[in-house]
Structure 1
Amino acid sequence: MRRRYSLTTRLTVLFSLSSAVVLLGLAGLILSAMDSHFADEDYALLRDNLRVIEKSLAAGASPQALHAGHAGDPYAHHAGVLIHLREPDGRTRYATPDFDFTAALAARPVHEEGEDRLAWQQAGKRYRGLRAAVPAGDAAQPIGVILAMDTDIHEHFLRAFRRSLVLYVALAVLASGLFGWWAARRGLSPLRAMASRAKAVTGDKLDQRMPVEAVPVEMAALAADLNAMLARLQDDFRRLSEFSSDLAHELRTPLTNLMTQTQVALSQPRDAARYRDVLASNVEELQRLSRMVSDMLYLAKMEHGLDLPHKESISIGTEVLALFEFYEALAEDKGIALRLVGDARIDGDRLMLRRALSNLLSNALRYTPERGSVTVTVTRQAGEVEVAVENDGPGIAPDLLPSLFDRFFRGDKSRARPESETVGLGLSITRAIVAAHGGSISVRSAPGTTRFAMQFPPPAREPAAS
């Protein structure tokens, strides 16, 4: 299994490697510059000596005097400089005693800055030199001159300096690593604080929030997103808790009725007609339970973002008129006028859309007073299709509007069983259906009128005109 390293360790290693690369590059640059500087000094010294030799040869120093080693030898005072003079015919005119010029004569010169420079190694030492042709007073052709010097003193200094530099780089990299570790731990301390707070988050303790103001700017967005996530989780847990409580309450009433009626019926012998009455009452309760379970399953499917089972182009006006026919008898009993204004098409599932419209119309008819009206308005606005269901009535209290689409919500806090036998899931199902179609739903209420508005995206393609 691949070993995982902490972010602090990774940052420390990267910081140390970066420091090592920079310092090693700087050390290489310094060593190269020093070597180049020593080379310039060596060649400058060799050029000075070359000018002295040019003057000596121009003065006509004889080869006999040179070979005899007279005290007046003009080349004897050039300490540390190796000199080799060669006649035009190849004979050696002068050579520094006790030095083998074979390697120097075989070295290939490099022409640089107007002169021929030599560089070679011999007997474990490094040499630099100049090769030139110098005119002599007693010769018709120039004399070949090689001036050289060993760089041992420079090499000794460079070796000592290189050792010191390596030691400094090693210590600097170590110090950089320690500083990087300290900086990484200090810089990542907000992450550790966020992690400690995240560990404290449980299902019973969702009020923890990340310290947005105390973290660096780069982490502020992450902290804000985590806070938003925790807020959503807290809200979802609250709703889940409320849903569990509501569900238990809604199931308790019909189950209690079933158990009570059955126990009473079994407490003593009764005639067949009485048993039929008890069974009929039990069937009503079971039907209510069945509707509740069916609605809950349907709502769960919608809220899990399932694809629309049968997507097609739908005429809103046609569906509304079909529902008007269905609710016509109920509307006539209360003297309620049903009106449709406008028409538009959307892409969606016909049965799901009809159920959403039916939920809104049934609620509107339930709360509309006698001789009132229910109006469905379909409009095509910029970028969306709006379907609004508006009815006359007492209106909804403003403090109830935010919870209107919650599961099992009823305005009556006593939770008395309504005559309509609804369980408070209709508007939740409607919102889920609208969301599955990519739309949204809103409500606006005032004394005398209530308006539910559904917004849907326009169809992908407009139907061809017939």
Structure 2
Amino acid sequence: MSIRWALSLGIICLLLAMAASQIWLVRFFQSQIEQQISSSSSEITRVVLAQTADQLETIIRQPPRPPAPPVPANGEAPREHKVRIIEIEKDGRQLSIESLTDINWQQEQHAIEHLLQQIAAEKLQDRAEQLHRSGRFNQAGPLIAEFTQYTMLLIAASTALAMLIALWLGHRLIQPLQRLVAGFKQLQHGQLGQQVAVTGLADYRYVSEQFNQMSSQLAALAAQAEQHQQQQHLAELGEISRGMVHALRNPIHTLSLLLEQVASSDDPLLRQRLSEQAEQKMQHINRNLTAMLTLSCADIDRSQQVLLQNVLHDLMLEFSNEQLRFSLTGDSDASVAGAEAELRSIFHTLLANAAEASGGKGQISIDVRTDLSQVQVTICDDGPGVSADILPRLFSPHCSSKADGAGMGLYLASRLLKLYYQGAIALHNRPEGGCCAMVTISGAAQ
């Protein structure tokens, strides 16, 4: 994920979290207000009902106690009071209560109070239903809901606007960084000297200017390095040319002497032996010229996989005779990407040195090993080994322990491995006698 999308998503998530918290807060306050209004309306209802009950209680009045009958003069006990009918009308019902004696007066009063309480309770219930039906305390509910709805719409609109502003700011702030990233990618692919537009804030402008200066300096350094490499290559070719002149002078001189002997000799066996020696010198000259041409040519196709066993088998057949034996062990499927002619030239030099060091007889062992992305080829001979004083200088031009050697074979082989195969050659003497040459080549086929 790019920094632009990471920043935009982070800001959007933050805004959404803020909007969600605001909506939750509005909902919470809405519920609290509704509960408060409901509680207040219930309290008001109770107060109104209590006042109504107090008003209804005033209706209850106690009728005057009937006067006591006069006491007769003769002192006789009073006669039973006459019966009086009290009629109370409620809802069309006629209730008759007999006038009681003084003993039943309290029962009469209790009956009247009970009847009036029933009437008061029915009136209180009717009043409460009228209050609830009137909706005086429920009118605040729709207003709160409408306020909540508009508040949430405002929160949603402001959040959407904030998201758009965040995306626009992210684009404006990240665009200079994206140009720098594109410039670095072009530098990574070798497009040196790439320039980016110097725009934006002061910090972005400073970084862009520094990038442009760095890119220009890298292009200049690359041009200088290429020029230096060309000069070094020309110097190496000059050194190789001087070595090749020395290397070809002796074989050509020897070849001319052999041709003179062939022309002046009448012995068929001598002529045949001299012809074979002349052919060997010609092959030696051809190998040196081929190695020089290969080293000076950089447009050779080195993308093909070369099976090393085939190359080594051909060279073994070329050098083998009745007294010189070869053994090949190790990985028979090892292959590397390169040019077969170059690889043949490298191993030809090593096998030729091993055969000459062995005196044309003995055993030469070849071992091929694959280690991760590298191939190691070890060539060991039974010769006397390499002198300790010349061993560190064997890969320098014009360094040879042979009287007729030009000292260019190992130098050319080492240069080929280093330039085109990221490889190297290492020589060491064996304790039991002889010398081993280890060739390391990168880019092994898996």
Q: Output the TM-score relative to the length of structure 1.
A: 0.42
Structure that is richer in helix per residue: 2
Q: Output the TM-score relative to the length of structure 2.
A: 0.44
Structure that is richer in strand per residue: 1
Which entry has the higher C-alpha Rg, 1 or 2? 2
